[in-house]
Amino acid sequence: MYFTTQERSLEMDEKTAKKSRLSFRTQLVLFGLLLVLIVALPPLIVEIQRPWEELANLISQGKIVVSQVKSDFHPYQLKKMNEFALRINESADPELENYLVWTFNLWFEFCEHETCIMVLTPEYMAKILKAKGMETKNFDFQKLLQAEDFWEKQFASDPRLRIIFKEYKEKLSQARLSAKAAGFDFNDTYVMTDNGQKLVFLLDGSDWWESSYPGLEYDVIKNDCQYFRNYLKNGPGFDTNPVRYHLKIFPKFDTDKWGSWFSVWLAAEVNRGTWNNFALDFDASKVKKLMWTIGIFILSTIAVITLIITLLTSRISDLISKPIKQLIAAAQEVINSNYDIQVPEHGSLEIRNFIAIFNDMVVKLKGRLNLKNMLGKLLSKELAEKVEKEGLIFEGEMVKATLVFTDFAGFSTITKNMGPQEIFQMLNEYFRELIPIIKKWNGFPDKYIGDAIVAIFGAPVKLDNHAELAVSCAIEMQLVLRRLNEVRQKEKKPVLEMRIGINSGEVIVGALGSDEKMDYTSIGETTNLAQRMEAACQIGDILISENTFNQVQTIFFENTDIDEHPQQFEVKGYSNTIAAYNIQVANLKISKNAQAIKSDDFYIMEITDNHLKKFDALTPEEKQRFSKVVKITPA
């Protein structure tokens, strides 16, 4: 009898054991909550979706508006406006920012044509600023005059351009009014221009005191919205604030003194390197409030239900706690390896049945544990379970079998710049495809050696056609690898190419290891030579020894090319050269690229003039030497 590390950790005193387990009452509470959750889950899911549906509806309406706004702009006029805004960005005085905003937009209030002269007085400006609730204490009328003069000079060469700005500002304002009349109320719509270096305002539909001016730079970093320029990387199209942002659950709302906002925009590249961003902001406070309301409602409901269930289950648990405690005490005895314990049958019918099953389980567990202890010393977990079910015991013996060794060429070089998780994810993806193929052809996956697989055909279950099955398995693995690599290349993932070596002969098979761990495996010269075949194999091919070839030479493996004459290899540990035959399963010659810089150019693929053969294409004389045709069809 021996104990695993897990079983030793369970040897704790009764007080500690009780603390580490959930009480029966707690389990009843959790069960009650689970039942309520099952009943309440569908309506809760519907309720949780409400704010997201509301947000999706607002986004859809926003896309319609910005699409219409974009269609209103004439490409030639938009180009001129972009050039003007980028020029203003370079020449405008940042200290005059507010005054530039006011004078640019107030002109639209007073003037109808390009020759209009806007006349403003200090008293009038102070009055209208105060009426809008704006600070007038630091108002500087001289700066206002400087700003007005600045715009006069900028539009002097093309007065018509100012009228164009006015016309489009009215269109932006009208777009907001039209959307509001249709039931979609949003705060503002605006257009920006981006030369790849700076993002600046072009025009907006806001009132003059809340507006901007062409060329006013928008700092995406300061405003925590780097995503606003996703189009520089992803190309033109619609975009929004991140819908999954805070804790990957809540949307990214832009919050300021006026409330919470959500933005929708349509990016378009008007010239090479110049972009226009047609955007709008809508009030997201309704969506945000709805999220908080539903969240509080759900938490409150859970708290009330938990309280009710706790009170109800408290009484129920008291009625059946005695037999449960006896079962716990008995289970602790079993943990301490006392398999002679028996619990008296009493309590409700269900409890009595449970106790009877528990007592029967302990009796059977004692017998099974004895068997497990014996099997655990001899076999791996997979074989031990097979022996337990079928009553078989494998001992060390000499059998005729075929060994298959696989290895990924250049694995260390390809994965040297990859992280551990990425490496294991890649290997597992390949192994998930390859291991079932071994089992499909009645092979036994013996073990992994790093990125290599070792498989046995002919043990622990004896097979007369082990060589045929091993070669068929190897061919299908290379075919599946081709298909898998095509998928990975399309997904821009690194690929691995495989060598396979096969040898047949007598091997010693059985359980090797110690009391702590034993594995079923093979040893001997046959196994060693199979590994040497893999090392000598060309990338992407299969190399079989003469021993294997002699057993499969009368079998035609469709869609493969097998050497008609053996190749001679010098193998470590052998005084004479070893004969082997190469099997090619694709019209490719694969080799390593010595100048490879990245993992995706590690292999050099060259199309060969080999034509993979079909049995029907052979001459009658060639067909005579084959007694069987094997078609490899990957699942």
pLDDT surpasses 70 at 198: yes
Residue 359 CB burial class (10 angstroms; 0-12, 13-18, ≥19): middle
Q: For the beta carbon of residue 351, count every other beta carbon within 10 angstroms.
A: 17
445 neighbors 453 (Cβ within 8 angstroms):
yes
Which positions ≥6 away from 140 have C-beta within 8 Å?
99
pLDDT surpasses 90 at 64: yes
Report which of 293, 292, 260, 261 is spatially closest to residue 279, judged by C-alpha positions. Answer: 261
pLDDT surpasses 90 at 335: no
What pLDDT score does 389 carry? 56
Ranking 121-130, 155-164, 437-446, 551-560 by mean pLDDT, the lowest is 121-130
Q: What is the DSSP string of 531-596?
A: HHHHHHSPBTSEEEEHHHHHHHTTEEETT-EE-SS-EEE--TT-SS-EEEEEEE-SSEEEEE-TT-
- Report the percent of the chain where pLDDT is more than 70: 87
In the DSSP assignment, the letter for residue 217 is B
Nearest 5°: CA angle at 510, between 509 and 511?
145
What pLDDT score does 22 carry? 67
Report which of 543, 587, 589, 584 is spatially closest to residue 566, judged by C-alpha positions. Answer: 543
Residue 192 vs residue 595, higher pLDDT: 192
Note the pLDDT tens digit of each residue in 549-563: 999 999 999 888 898
- Report the percent of the chain where pLDDT is more than 90: 34
Topology at the third CATH level for domain 394-630: Alpha-Beta Plaits (3.30.70)
Residue 212 C-alpha from the chain's centroid: 42
Residue 402 vs residue 129, higher pLDDT: 402
Given pLDDT bands bounded at 50, 70 and 90, which one contains residue 374?
very low
368 neighbors 495 (Cβ within 8 angstroms):
no
What pLDDT score does 470 carry? 96
280 neighbors 189 (Cβ within 8 angstroms):
yes
Note the pLDDT tens digit of each residue in 90-116: 999 989 998 899 889 888 887 777 777
Mean pLDDT of 392-403: 78
In the DSSP assignment, the letter for residue 250 is B
pLDDT surpasses 80 at 625: yes
Mean pLDDT of 316-342: 75
What pLDDT score does 394 carry? 56
pLDDT surpasses 80 at 29: no
pLDDT surpasses 70 at 355: yes
What are the residues facing 455 on neighbouring strands? 404, 445
What are the residues facing 281 on neighbouring strands? 188, 263
pLDDT surpasses 50 at 371: no
Helix (H) or strand (E) holding 519: strand 518-523
Q: Show the tokens assigned to 568.
A: 């001679």
Average pLDDT, the chain: 82
What pLDDT score does 378 carry? 36
What pLDDT score does 2 carry? 39
What pLDDT score does 575 carry? 82
Residue 13 vs residue 334, higher pLDDT: 334
Given pLDDT bands bounded at 50, 70 and 90, which one contains residue 319?
low
**Backbone phi and psi for residue 108, each to the nearest 5 degrees, phi listed first:** -65, -25
pLDDT surpasses 70 at 376: no
Note the pLDDT tens digit of each residue in 135-149: 767 788 888 889 889
Which positions ≥6 away from 350 have C-beta within 8 Å?
none
576 neighbors 598 (Cβ within 8 angstroms):
no
Residue 526 vs residue 30, higher pLDDT: 526
Report which of 533, 552, 559, 536 is spatially closest to residue 544, judged by C-alpha positions. Answer: 533
pLDDT surpasses 60 at 430: yes
What pLDDT score does 450 carry? 86
Ranking 134-143, 267-276, 361-370, 403-412 by mean pLDDT, the lowest is 361-370
> What are the b/e assignments for 66-76, b being 16+ CB within 10 Å?
bebbbeebeee
**Count helices and strands in the chain by DSSP H and E runs:** 18, 19
pLDDT surpasses 90 at 480: yes
Mean pLDDT of 254-266: 84
Separation between Cα atoms, residue 624 and residue 28, nearest integer Å: 74
Q: Domain map of the chain by residue range?
A: 1-63+284-378, 73-226+276-283, 394-630
Specify which of 244-248, 376-380, 510-514 reaches the highest per-range mean pLDDT. 244-248
Question: For 313-321, which contacts have Cβ atoms below 8 Å and span 24 or more sequence positions?
Answer: 313/25, 313/28, 313/29, 313/32, 314/25, 316/28, 317/23, 317/24, 317/25, 317/28, 320/24, 320/347, 320/348, 320/351, 321/24, 321/25
Given pLDDT bands bounded at 50, 70 and 90, which one contains residue 596?
confident
